[in-house]
Structure 1
Amino acid sequence: MLAAPGVGPLYTRLRPQSLRTRLLLAASVVLTAFFVITGFALESAFGDSAQQAQRDKLEGIVYSLLSALGPSASGELTIATATVPDARLKSAASSLQAALFNEDGVAVWRSVNYVDLPTPQMPAVGEWNFQYLDEPDAFAMSFGLRWIDLADDPRRYTVMVIEDASSYRAQLQAYRRALWTWMLVCGLGLLGVQVLVLQWGLSPLRKLIAELRRIELGEQQDIRADYPDELRPLTQGLNAMIQNERNQQTRYRNALGDLAHSLKTPLAVVQGITEDHDMPPQLRSTLGEQVQSMQQITGYQLRKAAAAGRRTLAEPVLIRPLCEKLVNALVKVYADKNARFELLIDPRLRLRAESGDMFELIGNLLDNAAKYGNGLVRLSVHHEGRTALIEVADNGPGFPDDAEELLERGVRADMKKPGQGIGLAAVYDLVRAYEGQLLLGASDLGGARVTVRLPG
C-alpha cells in the first residue's frame, strides 16, 4: 500500500507557491532595501549639509564680531555692544550668544543674553573650533586670535559664538518627514508599476493555463495560441506529450482488443471439447476447470491492462451520474437481498480520472459490498483538500483479520481466495495505477469499509 504524504519542513510550507507572489515579494524586498538605504544616505547628507551651513553662518557672525573689536580704556581688547552688527546679540530673549575670552579664560566681553558656561577649549591662533554642546543643546564656533597693543604686548583672545540647535533640529525633522513621506509614496508607486509590469509579463502564462484548463474540460484538443519565444518550446512539448499519450492509449486498447479476439476462438473450441460426452468424465471435469480458470485469468488481466490510470490533462468525470447507473444495475442484480444504496455525493463533484476506470473501481466496491453485506450499502465521494476520497461501507460481517496481508501478497492470492478479495484485487490495481492509497477497515454500519484516496 502507498504511504500517505508526509509533512514537509517548515520553510517548504511557508514558501510561496505562486510565481507572481515570488516576483512581487522579491521586488518588494529589493525596493524596500533600496529606499531605506537611499533614505538614510540622503538624511545623513542633509544633516552634514545643514551642519556645514550652521558652521558657515557662525563663522560669518565671528567675522562680524572681529570687525567690531577695539581696545578699551584699560588696554584690553573688547567689543562695543552698540557696534555689534547682529541685532540678536543685543536682545535678552535671543537664541544667539557671544563672548570674548582672554588667555586666562575670563570673559572680557559678553552679549546681554550670555549665560555662564564652562571655560571653552581655546583654539590656537588663527584656528577655528566648531562643536556641538550637549548642554545647552547648541552649536559653538570659536576662533583664536592675537592682539598686539601699542606697548607691543601681544595677548591671546578667543571669540566664541553660540547658537541654540532647536532651529537646526526643526529643519532636520521637517526634512526627515518630507523625505520619508516621499520615499513611501515613490516606493508604493514603483511597487504598483511593478505589479502592472508583472501582470503584463505573466499574461502569456495565464493564457497558457486557461488553454490547459480548456483541454482538461474537453473544449479543445491541443494548445493553439501563439506564445513568446521563451514559452514556445514548452507549448510544443506539451502538445507532443498530449498527442503521444492519446496515441499510446489508443494503441494499448487496440492491442488488447486484438488479443481478446484472438483468445476468444481457441478458448471457445476448447470449451466445446469439454462438452464431448465421449470424453472420460474426470478428464472433462479437469479440462473444464482449467478452461474456466484461463477465461477468468485472461479477463482479469485484460481489465487490469486496460486500466487507463492517471492521464495527463484528463477531462474531469462527473461522478454522481456514473454511480447512479451502477446502483440502478446492482439493485436489479441483488433484488433478492432487497439491497439499499445511500449516495452521499455532490451532483457537481468531478474527479480527474477515466470514466471507465471509475466505473470499474466503484462498481467492484459496490458489488462486493452488496454481495457480502446485509442489504445496506453507503457510498460517499468528496474532496479533502487536493485528495479525492471514495468510501464504501456496508452492514455485513466485515473483513477477515488478514485482509491487509492478503492485498499485500498480490493479485494471485486475491484471485484464488473466494470472497471480497477478488473484487478488491482489481480495485487495488486501479488505485496503484492512479498513485493512490487503499485502506480497509470497519464501518459505523457494523460491517466493512473500503477507503480509496486518489490525487486530485
Structure 2
Amino acid sequence: MTRSLRLRLMLGAAILSVLFMAGLLPALQSAVSLALKEAIEQRLASDVTTLISAARVEGGQLRMPDLLPDERFNLPDGRLLGYVYDRRGKLVWRSRAAAEENVAYTPRYDGAGNEFSRAQSDDGRQYWVYDVEVKLLGGQSAAYSFLALQSVDDYQNTLRNLREHFYLGFGAALLVLLLLLWGGLTWALRSLRRMSTELDEVEAGHREDLSDDHPRELLRLTRSLNRLLRSEREQRGRYRDSLGDLAHSLKTPLAVLQGVSENIAQRGQSLDQAYILQQQIERMSQQIGYQLQRASLRKSGLVRHHAALRPLAESVCATLSKVYRDKPVRVRYELAEPGLVPMEEGALLELLGNLLENAYRLCLEQVAIILKDDGQGLALFIEDDGPGVPAGQRQRILQRGERLDTQHPGQGIGLAVVKDIIDSYDAQLTLDESALGGAAFRIRFRPQ
C-alpha cells in the first residue's frame, strides 16, 4: 500500500470514476438503442403510410401501382421491403425489393391496429417489421395488413459505430478527468506540503512554532503541535532549572563531608574510615553527575539538532592533552563533509568526552576520529591503538557499572552515560577491533 496521501486519493478517485463510467456506458448505450428503435419505428410507420396511400380496391381486389412513390420499395436487393396480407394471412402483394426475400412472418389480424417487431428471413437476415391493419380502403370495405420491413443491419452497424465512439469518447473523458483530478488534488494538498515544510524548519531549529496560515481543517492540528512544542520547551527549561538547583543544593554538603574526611585523615586517626568516607563521597558525586547528565542530555521530541563534530572533538582533545601531557597522543581526523552529527551539541560533547577520555587513557600514541557514511547510514568511530577489548568482554563493558580497567579510579559509569545518550537518539553503539590494533567504538545513526 502506498504511503502517499495524494496517490491514495487519486487511486480512489480513479476507481470511482471508472466504476461510474462503467455503469454509465451501458445505460447510455441502452438509451441510444431505444432512441434508434423509436426512430426506425417512426420511419417504417411513414413507409407503411406510403404503401397505404398507393393502394386501391377495385372490384373487391387490391390494386397496387407498379412503381411506388418511394424508390426504395422499387429497387431490387433493397433494404426496404413491402408486403400486403389479407385478413386470412394470405400474401396478396409484395414490393420489387421483396421479390426474392422470404420472411418468416405472418400477420395477425386481431384489431390491434399496428405492431412493431422483428422477423427473420430464410437466409438468416434480421428485419424490423411494422405491421398496420387497415379496415377501410379507398372508400370500400376492406381489411388488409400492410407491412414495411427494414434490415436490422443498419441499426446494428449504427449502434456498433456509436459504441466505438462512446469508448473513445469515454476514454478521452476519463483521461481528462484524471488529469483534472490530479491537478485539483495537487492544488488542494498545497497546505499539507506547506505544513510539512514548516515542520522541517521546526525540526531543523529554524523556527519555533507553526504558523496559522493554514486551512481551518488543519488549524486544530497545527495549534496542538504548537502547544506540544511550547510544552516541551517549558518542560526542558524546568528540568534544567531543577537539575541546576539539585546540583547546587548537593554541592555544599558534599564539600563539607569531603573537608571532614580530609581533616580526619590528617589527624592520623581512623585512616581506614576516612578512606572509605572519601570513596563514598566520590561515588555519590559521580552518581549525581551521572544522573544529571542522563536527565539533561535527552533528545528533543520534535526538533532535530545537528552539531559540528570537529570543533567539539578538538576542544575535548585539547583538554585531554593537558591531562595526559606525559603521553604524546596523535589524533587523526577522517570526517566526511559536512561533518555534522545529528545530536545536540551538549549531548555530543558529553559523548566525546567519555569516549575520548577512554581512548586517551588506554592508547599507546594514536587516536582516530572517523565520521563516514558506510552505505547503511552515518557512523561515528572512536578508535585507539591500545590493548583493545577481548571479544568475550565487549558486550559486558557496555553495561552500567562494568569496568575492565581496575588500575584507575572510577565507577564504570562513563560508558553507561554514552549508552544512554545514544539510546535516546535511536542510535546503536557497538565495540569492535580497530585497524590501529585497539578498541573501536562505533555509533551508527538512523537515517533521518
TM-score normalised by structure 2 residue count = 0.77
Q: Does 1:429 align with 2:420?
A: yes
Task: Give aligned pairs, total.
Answer: 431
Paired residue for 1:44? 30
Please list the CA deviations of residues 82-112 of structure 1 after superposition, one character each: whole Å capped at 9, or x if unmatched.
1x23202222353333344675776852423
Q: Report matched runs for 1:114-193 at 5 Å.
A: 114-117=99-102, 119-125=104-110, 126-131=113-118, 138-143=126-131, 145=133, 159-166=147-154, 168-193=155-180
8 Å Cα contact 1:415/1:425 also seen in 2: no
Q: In structure 1, how many angstroms separate the alpha carbons of the residues matched to 2:177 and 2:89?
A: 62
Residues 252 and 306 in structure 1, CA contact (< 8 A), matched pair in contact too: yes
**1:10 corresponds to which residue?**
none
| Alignment deviations for residues 160-180 of structure 1 (CA, whole Å, 9 cap, x no partner) | 5132523x3443345445545
Report 1:206-221 matches (<5 A): 206-221=193-208
Matches within 5 A, 1:226-375: 226-275=213-262, 276-278=265-267, 279-319=269-309, 321-323=311-313, 325-326=315-316, 336=327, 338-347=329-338, 349=340, 351=342, 353-368=343-358, 371-372=361-362, 375=366
Q: Which structure is higher in RCO with an 8 Å CA cutoff and minimum separation 6?
A: 1
- The 10-residue stretch of structure 1 (439-448 or 258-267) with the greater mean CA deviation from structure 2: 439-448
User: Is residue 331–residue 340 contact of structure 1 (8 Å, CA) maintained in 2?
Assistant: no
* AA at the equivalent of 2:300: R
**What is the deviation of 1:45?**
0.9
Aligned counterpart in structure 1 of residue 209 of structure 2, from 222, 230, 239:
222
Query: Which 10-residue stretch deviates more, 366-375 or 354-363?
Result: 366-375
Offset of residue 23 of structure 1: 3.4
Task: Select between 331-340 and 254-263 the one with higher mean Cα deviation.
Answer: 331-340
The change in CA–CA distance for 1:333 and 1:36 in structure 2 (over 3 A counts) is farther
The 2-side partners of 1:138 and 1:348 are apart by 85
Give TM-score scaled by structure 1 length.
0.76
Deviation per CA, 1:371-411: give whole Å up to 9, x if none.
556746453354979x765455666634542544665xx63
The partner residue of 2:66 within 81, 85, 94 is: 81
CA offsets, 1:296-337, max 9 Å, x none? 222222211221323323444445654565566667777837
Q: Is the 8 A contact 2:369 2:380 kept in 1?
A: no
| 1:263-287 superposed Cα distances (whole Å, 9 cap, x missing partner) | 2333233333333421333223222
For residues 80-99 of structure 1, what are the structure 2 equivalents within 5 Å? 80-82=65-67, 84-92=68-76, 94-99=78-83
- The percent identity for this pair of structures is 27
Distance in 2, matches of 1:328 and 1:85, equals 118
Secondary structure of 2:207's partner? coil
Which residue in the other structure is 2:18 paired with? 32
Compare 110-119 and 305-314 and name the one that shifted more: 110-119
Distance 1:290 1:50 in 2: 104
- 51-60 vs 130-139, which moves further: 130-139
- The C-alpha deviation readout for 1:223-279, integer Å capped at 9, x for no partner, is 344444433333333333222222221221122222222323332333333334213
Q: Distance in 1 between matches of 2:39 and 2:396?
A: 89
CA distance in 1, matches of 2:280, 2:274: 10
- Change in CA separation of 1:218 and 1:170 when aligned onto 2, cut-off 3 Å: same
Assess, with a 3 A threshold, how the Cα gap between structure 1 residues 146 and 180 changes in structure 2: closer, same or farther.
closer
What's the counterpart of residue 61 of structure 1? 47
Amino acid at match of 1:89: F
Distance 1:173 1:333 in 2: 95
Q: Are 1:15 and 2:2 an aligned pair? A: yes
* Structure 2 CA distance for partners of 1:120 and 1:240, relative to 1, 3 Å: same
Distance change (3 Å), C-alpha of 1:430 and 1:90: same
Distance 1:137 1:373, change over 3 A: farther
SS of structure 1 residue aligned to 2:217: coil
Taking the aligned partners of 2:103 and 2:356, their CA distance within structure 1 comes to 101
Letter in 2 for 1:425: A
CA 1:423–1:350 in structure 2 vs 1: closer, same or farther (change >3 Å)?
closer
Give the letter aligned to residue 40 of structure 2: Q
The range that moved more, 247-256 or 62-71, is 62-71
How far apart are the structure 2 equivalents of 1:289 and 1:72?
144
Q: Residue 334 of structure 2 contacts residue 370 of structure 2 at CA under 8 Å; is this kept in 1? A: yes
Q: Aligned letter for 1:431?
A: I
Residue 100 of structure 1 contacts residue 159 of structure 1 at CA under 8 Å; is this kept in 2?
yes
The alpha-carbon deviation at position 24 of structure 1 amounts to 3.4
For residues 17 and 233 of structure 1, do their structure 2 counterparts lie closer, same or farther at Cα, with a shift above 3 Å needed? same
Residues 414/305 of structure 1: CA separation in 2 closer, same or farther (3 Å cut): farther
Tell me, yes or no, if the aligned pair for 1:320 and 1:345 is still in contact at 8 Å. Answer: no
Query: Unmatched 5+ residue regions in structure 1?
Result: 1-13
Q: What letter is aligned with 2:11? A: L
Residues 1:443 and 1:90: Cα distance change in structure 2 (over 3 Å): farther
The question of whether the paired residues in 1 share the 8 Å contact of 2:52 and 2:146 is answered with no
**Contact 2:78 2:97 survives alignment (8 Å):** no
RMSD: 4.2
The gaps in structure 2 that reach 5 residues or longer are none
Q: Is the contact made by 1:344 and 1:380 (CA closer than 8 Å) also made in structure 2?
A: yes
Which amino acid in the other structure matches residue 293 of structure 2? Answer: R
Q: CA deviation at 1:364?
A: 3.4
